[in-house]
């Protein structure tokens, strides 16, 4: 039995997991308390949902250290990004949101390895580097919005990796680094020893080579190569990370489905069990990102770069940050929150009248109501009126459905069921080489210059290990979800108002059209209760893990609308997303045990 049940408020889910993706909010009132910033909840938060709720403590620690070294701790805050390009986008966004602020008050510090020490590192190891945007503390709301909506911020493992180098003064401000003097001799096979190093970016006192003793933290080092080996010798080996990324991309492409160790698994034939089934599609059309939101943000960004800035269409009730990306990082969005045929009728009228759009974004199926869009009709409109289609397949996942033939770009959060272990983040962007609207060739040209592989190497290693058995896990989650949905439907209408699941949705035909021969209906379901009080009773008595996120190997429940839309509950309700909704990500536990857990929670709800 797989279980991560944890009812300790604020503890990571799974418990005692330093890089956990979820956090325990075990009661309905705890969720309310978190949204309202109540001390009894906030003070107990050991971690949080990384993209929406919480900046990991390791990230905050490094940010504080960088502020102390390069800013004013009393007045500044910092946001950490993986590269200067990401930092530039962050800086531009903060200034755009606060145009009256002098741009000089928003600074970028790029921290890179000391060149002298970097030269001594084994060539196959990962070198730490990080960029920080420093700004007046009052601009934090804009910076946090950028972090939340774009997914550009660093992940916690990268922060810990860079923290060690920062503490040892291995990272320095790039603007202070001077070029190294030419090396006069080769060193040992793995290292080449530089001449004297004073760690201030110069060689010797007069810019000439000397043999003075290197200094780190004011202490002399007798053997610089030995110092590097001892301090950084346990760092990541790039070779293993590269293999892990290749395996992950092949799994996403559908050409690697076996559960085996690296590198043996990479020797499997590339064309076996292709799930995507699009001519000319290859692994070269699969791009990795640090998280799902970053894949969505970059899909929008590269489409604007390839096709020019145009308004977008959000079709169906969205994950909130997906809509914010379209609204805040371009000319805006036309929002169709119901995602039904009436919305497509209206869109078609607008298109016939001459309105033009950059893209239509939709989820397949949607979250949390699990409605499936009519991808055939959407694709026909896109081909007729020349706009791109971007589909988020996170909920359906590519072992259940094949949506690539209807998309120009498919995005997905690998943090969810692809990983399952709730201890690492990742995202992917997939191009359809047969899609006419976005111009595949134009997108490839943009990506050739704009794409940065910012998935941290250690995250890639964890993601690869976690995803080896994803085929079996998805099949089991599908089966368990069906059992739970049947329990909830049996309680309608006496205790449960409505159950949402792709199999039982009025849009099932649209889902089935894309469902693969061996595909199921996914591991996500939702139920709306007759009142908030009933929903709270059920939630408080449900003995599963309870917190944000989905796709975990263990069952995870969440009052989704309350958490995602607490400040806009009436707005969400007009699209069918009521406050009394509880969402379930069904895991891999024993089916009979799960059924009993849900039946006992339903017993606490009064009959209507």
Residues above pLDDT 90, as percent of the chain: 76
Q: Looking at 467, 487, 509, which one is the last position of a domain?
A: 467
Q: Within this chain, do residues 498 and 442 fall inside the same structural domain, yes or no?
A: no
Question: Residue 179: pLDDT above 50?
Answer: yes
Please tell me the distance from the alpha carbon of residue 170 to that of residue 111, in angstroms, as a whole number: 9
pLDDT of residue 214: 41
* Domain assignment of residue 407, yes or no: yes
List the single range of 48-62, 137-151, 354-368 with lowest mean pLDDT.
48-62
Question: Residue 71: pLDDT above 50?
Answer: yes
Question: Residue 331: pLDDT above 60?
Answer: yes
Q: Within this chain, do residues 122 and 107 fall inside the same structural domain, yes or no?
A: yes
Cα 415 to its chain centre, rounded Å, is 6
- Reported as a pLDDT band with limits 50, 70 and 90, residue 259 is confident
Q: Looking at 155, 176, 197, which one is the last position of a domain?
A: 176
Q: Within this chain, do residues 438 and 474 fall inside the same structural domain, yes or no?
A: no
272 versus 248: which is more confidently predicted? 248
- Reported as a pLDDT band with limits 50, 70 and 90, residue 318 is confident
Q: Looking at 413, 442, 467, which one is the last position of a domain?
A: 467
| Cα distances (Å, whole numbers) of residue 480 to 109, 367, 549, 598 | 49, 19, 18, 12
* Domain assignment of residue 127, yes or no: yes
Peptide bond into 252 cis (omega under 30): no
pLDDT of residue 175: 93
> CATH number for the domain including 579?
3.90.1150.10
Per-residue pLDDT of 295-316, as tens digits, reads 999 999 999 999 999 999 999 9
pLDDT of residue 448: 97
Question: Residue 156: pLDDT above 60?
Answer: yes
Q: Within this chain, do residues 455 and 521 fall inside the same structural domain, yes or no?
A: no
Structure tokens, 376: 């055939």
**The three-state (H, E, C) secondary structure of 126-160, written as one string:** CCCCEEEEEEEHHHHHHHHHHHHHHCCCCCHHHHH
| Closest by CA position to 281, among listed 410, 466, 150 | 410
List the single range of 139-143, 228-232, 346-350, 356-360 with lowest mean pLDDT.
228-232
Please tell me the distance from the alpha carbon of residue 495 to that of residue 586, in angstroms, as a whole number: 20
Q: Within this chain, do residues 442 and 476 fall inside the same structural domain, yes or no?
A: no
- Could you list the residue range(s) of the whole structural domain that residue 150 is in? 57-176
* Domain assignment of residue 24, yes or no: no
pTM for this predicted structure: 0.90
Q: Within this chain, do residues 433 and 328 fall inside the same structural domain, yes or no?
A: yes
* Domain assignment of residue 269, yes or no: no
Question: Residue 200: pLDDT above 50?
Answer: no
Q: How much is the average pLDDT of 339-348?
A: 98
- Reported as a pLDDT band with limits 50, 70 and 90, residue 29 is very high
161 versus 216: which is more confidently predicted? 161
3-state secondary structure of 102: coil
pLDDT of residue 195: 29
* Domain assignment of residue 209, yes or no: no
Q: Within this chain, do residues 439 and 484 fall inside the same structural domain, yes or no?
A: no
- The rounded mean pLDDT for the chain is 88
pLDDT of residue 265: 72
- Reported as a pLDDT band with limits 50, 70 and 90, residue 255 is confident
pLDDT of residue 181: 54
Other beta carbons within 10 angstroms of residue 467's beta carbon come to 25
Q: Within this chain, do residues 410 and 477 fall inside the same structural domain, yes or no?
A: no
Cα 433 to its chain centre, rounded Å, is 24
Q: Within this chain, do residues 293 and 431 fall inside the same structural domain, yes or no?
A: yes
Other beta carbons within 10 angstroms of residue 78's beta carbon come to 25
pLDDT of residue 116: 81
Answer yes or no: are the C-beta atoms of 112 and 221 closer than 8 Å. no
Question: Residue 220: pLDDT above 80?
Answer: no
Q: Within this chain, do residues 478 and 455 fall inside the same structural domain, yes or no?
A: no
* Domain assignment of residue 486, yes or no: yes
Q: How much is the average pLDDT of 29-40?
A: 95
Tally of domains in the chain: 3
pLDDT of residue 236: 58
- Reported as a pLDDT band with limits 50, 70 and 90, residue 436 is confident
Q: How much is the average pLDDT of 175-187?
A: 59
238 versus 378: which is more confidently predicted? 378
**The three-state (H, E, C) secondary structure of 236-260, written as one string:** CEHHHHHHHHHHHHHHHHCCCCCCC
List the single range of 277-281, 290-294, 317-321, 485-489 with lowest mean pLDDT.
277-281
Question: Residue 452: pLDDT above 60?
Answer: yes
pLDDT of residue 46: 85
pLDDT of residue 66: 98
Question: Residue 510: pLDDT above 50?
Answer: yes
Q: Within this chain, do residues 457 and 478 fall inside the same structural domain, yes or no?
A: no
Q: Is the dihedral of CA 405, 410, 414, 420 positive or negative?
A: negative
pLDDT of residue 227: 46
pLDDT of residue 48: 79
* Domain assignment of residue 35, yes or no: no
400 versus 318: which is more confidently predicted? 400
pLDDT of residue 229: 45
| Cα distances (Å, whole numbers) of residue 143 to 37, 56, 146, 153, 339 | 19, 15, 5, 10, 31
pLDDT of residue 119: 77
> CATH number for the domain including 371?
3.40.640.10
Q: Within this chain, do residues 463 and 474 fall inside the same structural domain, yes or no?
A: no
* Domain assignment of residue 94, yes or no: yes
């Amino acid at each position: 039995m797989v279980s991560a049940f944890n009812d300790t408020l604020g503890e990571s889910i799974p418990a005692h997991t330093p890089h956990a993706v979820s956090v325990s909010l075990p009661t309905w009132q705890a969720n309310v308390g978190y949204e309202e910033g109540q001390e009894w909840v906030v003070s107990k938060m050991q971690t949080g949902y990384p993209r929406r709720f919480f900046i990991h403590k390791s990230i905050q620690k490094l940010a504080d250290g960088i502020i102390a070294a390069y800013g004013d701790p009393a007045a500044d805050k910092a946001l950490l990004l993986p590269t200067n390009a990401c930092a530039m986008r962050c800086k531009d966004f903060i200034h755009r949101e606060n145009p009256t602020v002098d741009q000089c008050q928003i600074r970028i510090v790029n921290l890179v390895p000391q060149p002298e020490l970097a030269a001594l590192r084994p060539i196959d190891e990962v070198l730490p580097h990080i960029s920080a945007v420093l700004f007046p503390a009052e601009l934090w709301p804009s910076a946090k919005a950028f972090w939340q909506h774009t997914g550009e911020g660093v992940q916690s493992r990268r922060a810990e990796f860079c923290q060690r180098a920062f503490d040892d003064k291995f990272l320095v401000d790039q603007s202070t680094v001077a070029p190294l003097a030419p090396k006069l001799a080769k060193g040992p096979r793995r290292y080449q020893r530089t001449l004297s190093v004073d760690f201030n970016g110069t060689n010797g006192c007069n810019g000439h080579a000397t043999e003075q003793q290197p200094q780190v933290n004011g202490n002399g080092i007798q053997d610089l190569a030995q110092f590097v080996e001892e301090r950084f010798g346990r760092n990541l080996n790039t070779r293993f990370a590269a293999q892990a990324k290749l395996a992950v991309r092949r799994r996403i492409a559908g050409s690697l489905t076996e559960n085996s160790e690296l590198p043996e698994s990479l020797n499997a034939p590339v064309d076996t069990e292709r799930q995507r089934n699009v001519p000319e599609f290859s692994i070269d059309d699969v791009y990795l990102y640090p998280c799902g939101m970053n894949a969505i943000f970059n899909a929008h960004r590269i489409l604007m770069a390839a096709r020019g800035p145009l308004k977008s269409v959000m079709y169906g009730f969205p994950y909130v940050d997906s809509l914010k990306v379209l609204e805040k990082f371009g000319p805006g969005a036309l929002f169709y929150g119901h995602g039904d045929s009436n919305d497509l009728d209206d869109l078609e009228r607008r298109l016939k009248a001459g309105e033009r759009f950059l893209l239509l974004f939709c989820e397949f199926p949607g979250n949390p109501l699990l409605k499936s869009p009519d991808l055939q009709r959407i694709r026909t409109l896109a081909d007729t009126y020349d706009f791109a289609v971007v589909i988020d397949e996170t909920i359906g996942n590519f072992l259940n459905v094949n949506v690539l033939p209807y998309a120009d770009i498919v995005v997905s959060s690998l943090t969810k069921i692809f990983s399952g272990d709730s201890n690492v983040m990742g995202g992917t962007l997939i191009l359809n080489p047969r899609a006419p609207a976005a111009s595949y060739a134009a997108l490839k040209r943009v990506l050739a210059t704009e794409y940065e592989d910012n998935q941290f190497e250690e995250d890639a290693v964890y993601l690869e290990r976690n995803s080896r058995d994803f085929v079996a896990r998805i099949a089991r989650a599908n089966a368990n979800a069906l059992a739970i949905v049947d329990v909830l439907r049996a309680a309608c209408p006496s205790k449960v108002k409505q159950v949402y699941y792709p199999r039982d949705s009025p849009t099932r035909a649209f889902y089935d059209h894309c469902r693969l021969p061996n595909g199921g209906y996914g591991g996500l379901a939702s139920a709306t209760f007759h009142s908030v009080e009933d929903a709270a009773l059920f939630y408080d008595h449900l003995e599963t893990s309870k917190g944000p996120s989905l796709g975990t190997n263990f069952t995870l429940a969440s009052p989704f609308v309350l958490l995602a839309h607490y400040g806009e509950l009436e707005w969400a309700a007009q699209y069918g997303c009521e406050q009394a909704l509880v969402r379930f990500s069904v895991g891999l536990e024993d089916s009979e045990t799960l059924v009993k857990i849900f039946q006992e929670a339903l017993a606490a709800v009064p009959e209507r």
